[in-house]
Structure formats: C-alpha cells, structure tokens
Chain A
C-alpha cells in the first residue's frame, strides 16, 4: 500500500495504490486524519484511486468516514479513477450517491 498527498489550494489530493481492506485502511486513515488535523484550510478531499484494484467494506467505511469529516465543514469528497473491478462495491454501498466521481484530477479540481 502506498499513498501520497498533495495540497492544491483548499483541496487535499490523496493518491492511493494497493488494496483497501481491513489490513491497509488503519494506516491510511491515520495519515489522512493527521494531515487534516495539522493543516488549516483544507476543504475538499480528492481521492485518486488509480492504483487501487480491490476495495471491500473496510475500504468503503474508510471513504465514508472521510466524507463525514469533510462534509461537516461544507467540503466535498471527489473520487477519481474508479476502476471497473471496484465499481460494483461503490454502487452497492451508496458511495456514488455521496461522492462526486471524476475521470481525472484536473477535472476534479476544476469542479470547485
């Protein structure tokens, strides 16, 4: 599991590679929460899942958890690059109803 974060104005872009499951989610959650705690002015979260081939309910829980935090302060969750292999769990879980989906980061940033 690899993750990198980049701040672009009021947006935090999080690029993730690997599987999102019970094993990987705790470390990801910790790092993102630490960044959100530390930095003032982050409004929107852009999750780039280009390198993610597998997501289960722990991964969905992780995404919904971050949505709850961001939306409390009027921010939006944007998800980029959902592969076909993980699209079904997104649909079934209802994440597609709460997150805005984009095909690339530039599009997600422009939607501000």
Chain B
C-alpha cells in the first residue's frame, strides 16, 4: 500500500497551468497508470486549475492550492481556490455551461476522465474540486 502526499501552491494565473499538470502527472506516475491515463489526469488537472483561474478569480488574482495524495492504488487530487465561488454547481456541470471560449467542456472532461469528482463551493469563500482516479490495471487485479 503506497502512501504519499504533496502540496503545490501557485498564483492563479494561466502561466502556471502547465506547471500544475506536469507536477500532477509526475506525482501520478508513482502508480501503475498507462500513458493514456496520465494524459487524462493532465487534462483533468488543467481543467480544474483553469476553472479556478477563470471562475474563482476572474480578472483578479489569488492563489490556488493543489494537494496530491496516494492512498493505496488511488490518486487523489484536490484543487482549491479562495475566490468568488460557484453559485449553482449543478448548472456548472452541464455540458452547455459556456464561459468565454471554453465551451463548457471543462467539467465534462473532468467527469469523463476521473473515477470520482466532488465539488464544494461557497460564495465568496472559494471552490474545492476533489478528483480521484485509480489505474485500470489495479482495478482489474482487484476483481
């Protein structure tokens, strides 16, 4: 049973999205993920961090905290901002929830690529997205 934990705090600007996804991918590589699964984790991370930048801080600036955990065969990624929060999480999860040029696909990708997604948000407090994924290989072994 592997256990590990890391934290990354970044300024909520788009320059740091690449850093966030490469860091998460590197951490995730401790488990037996395929390259395709690592790509999915990178997309989900990119979406969560982009959401925090756009919806959390808009034109303003703030920090984003990314917590990474390995619990057994599970990778847990928590992306947290301290911005304006999301008023209606259910609406934000709809595929046609459109902001700027991102076509509302961000949360659809997260939902498709991760095994489990939980979003908590409070107005003027911020948003926390928790994403969990296990390697397919380990799921097959467990069966």
- Where the two chains meet, the residues of A that have a C-beta atom closer than 8 Å to any C-beta of B are 19, 21-23, 25, 29, 54, 56-58, 60-62, 64-65, 84-86, 88-89, 92-93
The count of A-to-B residue pairs whose CB atoms sit within 8 angstroms is 69
- Asked whether B53 lies within 8 Å of A89 as measured between CB atoms, the reply is no
- Asked whether B50 lies within 8 Å of A22 as measured between CB atoms, the reply is yes
- Asked whether B47 lies within 8 Å of A29 as measured between CB atoms, the reply is no
The residue in chain A whose Cβ has the minimal distance to the Cβ of B105 is A57
Choose among B50, B103, B112 the residue that contacts A21 (Cβ–Cβ < 8 A).
Answer: B50
- Asked whether A92 lies within 8 Å of B103 as measured between CB atoms, the reply is no
- Asked whether B103 lies within 8 Å of A64 as measured between CB atoms, the reply is yes
Interface majority SS (helix, strand, loop, mixed), chain A: helix
- Asked whether B17 lies within 8 Å of A93 as measured between CB atoms, the reply is no
Residues of A within 8 A of B106 (CB): 56-57
Known: A21-B50, A85-B35, A88-B39. 12 other contacts (CB 8 A): A19-B18, A21-B18, A22-B50, A22-B102, A23-B14, A54-B46, A56-B43, A57-B105, A58-B102, A60-B102, A64-B103, A84-B36
Residues of A within 8 A of B43 (CB): 54, 56, 89
Q: Report the minimal beta-carbon distance from B58 to chain A, rounded to whole angstroms.
A: 13
The residue in chain A whose Cβ has the minimal distance to the Cβ of B108 is A92
- Asked whether B46 lies within 8 Å of A21 as measured between CB atoms, the reply is yes
- Asked whether B105 lies within 8 Å of A22 as measured between CB atoms, the reply is no
Choose among B15, B39, B40, B103 the residue that contacts A57 (Cβ–Cβ < 8 A).
Answer: B103
Residues of A within 8 A of B15 (CB): 23
Choose among B18, B42, B102 the residue that contacts A61 (Cβ–Cβ < 8 A).
Answer: B102
